[in-house]
Amino acid sequence: MSVSAVGFDLDYTLAVPTRDRETILSEAAAAAGAPPLTREAYLRAHQENLTRETRAPIFETLLDEHGSPVDPERVATAYRERITDAVVPVEGVEAMLAGLRTTYRVGLLTNGPVVAQEAKIDKLGWRDHFDTALVTGALPAGKPDERAFEALLDDLGTDPDETVYVGDSVHHDIAGAHDAGLRPVQVLGDGCDDPDPRAIAHIHHDDLPAELPKLLADL
């Protein structure tokens, strides 16, 4: 079946931070008066809180581990402000999205709390770039759960086998899309996961704007 829609992950697929997140996390914790927090611990807590309104529950878990009395919402706000300020589009993706929408339904499905991810979308000015933009904080489940991808398909009005999903994470994006019946395309690059055989194609991050439209046209 030919492709009628394409969905995208956000972070490290369409947009990237200008500074490393370990540094941003350290700065946010210090600004809020919290103890030092590691990126590894943050990611574990983040995975357990994919359907939340804010990052406060993530930082509540981390602060409890340290026995810290600091308000989790204070740390969440400090981190959100710094991440939002640092996020920028991958070069060329805005023109790519505009071009794709002349032929395909285009959607966004991003893991994370609602306030945090929507702040990024607003900062990037991307509200009009998608036919639908879903944040898992507003859904019953986050990626890789099939329910997250089903929500994307419902909003796009397409079947799984006519929908491509583009992302960088093997666990969240490639495995999740594959298991939900979509056709996954894996984004590669520095710090990204190794190529996964479940992806129908592998495209380097820098080449995505030029190579993805050609791939979709050939499917």
- Find out whether 168 and 149 touch, Cβ atoms under 8 Å: no
Residue type, 58: I
The pLDDT value recorded for residue 168 is: 96
Enumerate the H helices of 87-128 as residue ranges.
Answer: 93-100, 114-124
What span, in angstroms and rounded, lies between the C-alpha atoms of 105 and 132?
9
DSSP lists the bridge partners of residue 204 as 188
Q: Dihedral (C-alpha) 202, 207, 208, 213: value to the nearest 10 degrees?
A: -100
Low-confidence spans in the chain with pLDDT less than 70? none
* 5-16+88-218 CATH: 3.40.50.1000
**Counting runs of H as helices and runs of E as strands, what totals does the chain give?**
9, 8
Q: Note the pLDDT tens digit of each residue in 71-92.
A: 999 999 999 999 999 999 999 9
Q: Is the peptide bond before 144 cis (omega within 30 degrees of 0)?
A: yes
What are the C-alpha distances in Å from 132 to residues 9, 65, 171?
12, 37, 23
What residue segments make up the domains of the chain, in order of their start?
Answer: 5-16+88-218, 21-86
The pLDDT value recorded for residue 193 is: 85
The pLDDT value recorded for residue 205 is: 87
For 8, list phi and psi in degrees, rounded to 5.
-130, 145
Q: Note the pLDDT tens digit of each residue in 5-44.
A: 999 999 999 999 999 999 999 999 999 999 999 999 999 9
The pLDDT value recorded for residue 75 is: 95
What span, in angstroms and rounded, lies between the C-alpha atoms of 95 and 151?
26
